Amino acid sequence: MKTMLFCNTWEPGRHKEPPAPADIDYPHYWIDENYCGLGAPLIEMAASLGYRIESLTYCEPENADILCFWECPRGLCDSAFEHGLRSGKEMYLFATEHDGIVKENIDPINALFFKKIFTYYPRLIDGVKYIGAFPMFFQVPEAIDRTPFEERKFSAMIGHIPHGGALNYHERASTALWFSANHPDQLDMYAKQTGYSGSMNEIKCYRGPCGNKRKTLAGYKFCFCYENSADYPGYVTEKIFDSIFAGCIPVYLGPPDRSAYIPDDCYIDRARFKDNQELYDYMVSIDGDAFNKYQDALSEFVNSDFCRRHSPLGFAELVIKNIITRERL
pLDDT of residue 165: 47
pLDDT of residue 245: 97
CATH of domain 2-138+311-328: 3.40.50
Within a 10 A sphere around the Cβ of 134, how many other Cβ atoms? 22
Q: pLDDT by residue (tens digit) across 108-156?
A: 888 999 999 999 989 999 999 999 998 889 999 999 999 999 999 999 9
How far is Cα 97 from Cα 136, in angstroms, rounded to an integer? 9
| Rounded mean pLDDT, 22-32 | 86
pLDDT of residue 292: 98
How far is Cα 301 from Cα 126, in angstroms, rounded to an integer? 26
pLDDT of residue 76: 59
Amino acid at 210: C
Residue ranges matching CATH 3.40.50.11660 in the chain: 149-307
- Judged by phi (left if over 0) then psi (alpha if -120 to 50, else beta), residue 71 lies in left
pLDDT of residue 301: 96
pLDDT of residue 11: 67
| Rounded mean pLDDT, 25-36 | 86
With a CB cutoff of 8 Å and minimum separation 6, the contacts of 266 are: 244, 250, 294, 297, 298, 301
- Judged by phi (left if over 0) then psi (alpha if -120 to 50, else beta), residue 198 lies in left
Instruction: Pick the closest to residue 113 from 159, 154, 150, 72 (CA basis).
Output: 72
Q: Partners of 206 in the beta sheet?
A: 189
With a CB cutoff of 8 Å and minimum separation 6, the contacts of 187 are: 154, 155, 156, 157, 175, 176, 179, 180, 205, 224
How far is Cα 234 from Cα 299, in angstroms, rounded to an integer? 22
| Rounded mean pLDDT, 313-319 | 96
| Rounded mean pLDDT, 87-101 | 90
CB 221 within 8 A of CB 153: yes
CB 117 within 8 A of CB 99: no
CATH entry, 149-307, from 3.60.15.10, 3.40.50.11660, 3.60.20.10, 3.40.50.300? 3.40.50.11660
| pLDDT class of 194 with cuts at 50, 70, 90 | very low
pLDDT of residue 162: 65
CB 235 within 8 A of CB 135: yes
| Rounded mean pLDDT, 65-81 | 86
